[in-house]
Amino acid sequence: MTGYLYQCELALLELARRSWHDPTAEVRMELLDDIEFLDQDKTPRELLQAKHREAAGPLSETGKDFWRSVGSWIDALKKLSEPSGAAMPILRLVSTQTAPPDTFFHHLSVGPDRDETKALQRMEQAADDEEGPDTTAKDRRLFMSLTPARRQELVSAITVNGGAPLMSDLDPSLAKELGITPSDHAQDALEEIKGWWYGVAVKLLERKNPQRRRTSASAQELMCRRDEVTGRYTGKHLPITETLRNLTEAEIAGYSDRLVVTQMRWIGLPDNEVAMHLRDYHLARAQRSEWLRTFKITPERLEEYEGELHYEWETAFRRRTRRIPADTSEEARQDIGQEILDATMDRVADTPLRPGTVTAPWVGKGSTHGLSDQADTATPQRQLGWHPDYQNRCKSPDEAQEQ
């Protein structure tokens, strides 16, 4: 069990490490290897075997950790249509055990003593040893069945990272690579990111349900989550890239058939007020799209934010509609709707998209109008409107608008 958990956290550590110099890096698990890193065209650039042993000790030249990794790599390369030369991915063994001097592990480690020729010679000797253990015989024979040139190519692609931190010692390395500086809340931030990552890992490992499965996770997504979490403790504000301006007549006309406008018409808002609210809606829509595109926020946080806006609307709506007599006139109902709209806008203007920070008021206002634009299709937990009877009207908005 510790080995599986180690694989998940090592994938997080490696992705965080890459995020600083290659934000386009993507990771996936348990397809070709324990962990894989992909090029921009989704081609595996690195296959990584994760080996966790509580009793560290030295790696064995005839041990199953290494030779089963070799067998796995040979099979994986066949699935990659026998890549050669520059197309050969890095084949990496990360082990908590150490690489002793004068072993092929030492010659395959990063550093001045790396010597692929010596490593190949010692690997061939170990693979050809008839007295070697039965547990690795199959994989050793598979290695020797390759052509000499192919064996050389395979060995040149292998990198051994011995002495990796144990599972219980990973947190300091994770915090460093995630850029979490020591503070009173550092451990809380790290645990929150790890909790999110385990949810991602479950989806990366999903094989039966396509709707729950995700093919990979990107360094950009990880950086976005990291910024959200650490920003909650440091007060890091989201950048505003949209310029506050009035919409053109053409832009306003483009929304004329949208439910967001219809909802405002139901409560009798004049054109100038409709235009004012549409400005917030238009700018918030563009700004949120930009934040998502540039990985400043995650879709999950945006969904949480909409839930918070819905809560503020519901408070205003319930207070003003709980005692409306059945014979209340339409004009009075429209007045109540305008009160609901005004009260909601006041409440959501101060709701921050990133907790602990300040968000421009029009982001909350416009995002709330975005929910009103989906009231006819959204789940009950996301429906909202201004007219006391908006739910019935949304069932047939064209008929209600004519009335």
E strands present in 194-305: 217-218
Backbone angles phi, psi at 90, to 5 degrees: -70, 135
CA dihedral 328, 332, 334, 337 (to 10 degrees): -90
The DSSP-derived string for 29-97 is: ESSSSSEEEE-TTS-EEEEEEEE--SS--BPPTT-HHHHHHHHHHHHHHHHTT---GGGPPEEEEEESS
How far apart, in whole angstroms, are the C-alpha atoms of residue 337 and residue 387? 4
Q: What order of strands is seen across the sheet that includes strand 35-38?
A: 158-161, 90-95, 44-51, 35-38, 26-29, 217-218
Tens of pLDDT along the chain (403 residues)? Answer: 999 999 999 999 999 999 999 989 999 999 999 999 998 888 899 999 999 998 878 999 999 999 999 999 999 998 886 545 447 899 999 999 999 998 999 999 999 999 999 999 999 999 988 888 899 999 999 999 999 999 999 999 999 999 999 999 999 999 999 999 887 788 888 999 999 999 999 999 999 998 899 999 999 999 999 988 888 777 778 888 898 899 999 999 999 999 999 999 999 999 999 999 999 999 999 999 999 998 889 999 999 999 999 999 999 999 999 989 999 999 999 999 999 999 999 999 999 998 888 889 999 999 999 999 998 887 778 899 999 999 999 987 555 555 5
How far apart, in whole angstroms, are the C-alpha atoms of residue 311 and residue 316? 9
- Measuring CA to CA, how many Å separate 394 from each of 239, 351, 377, 378? 35, 27, 9, 11
How far apart, in whole angstroms, are the C-alpha atoms of residue 339 and residue 259? 19
Give the Cα-Cα-Cα angle 359, 361, 365 (nearest 5 degrees).
115
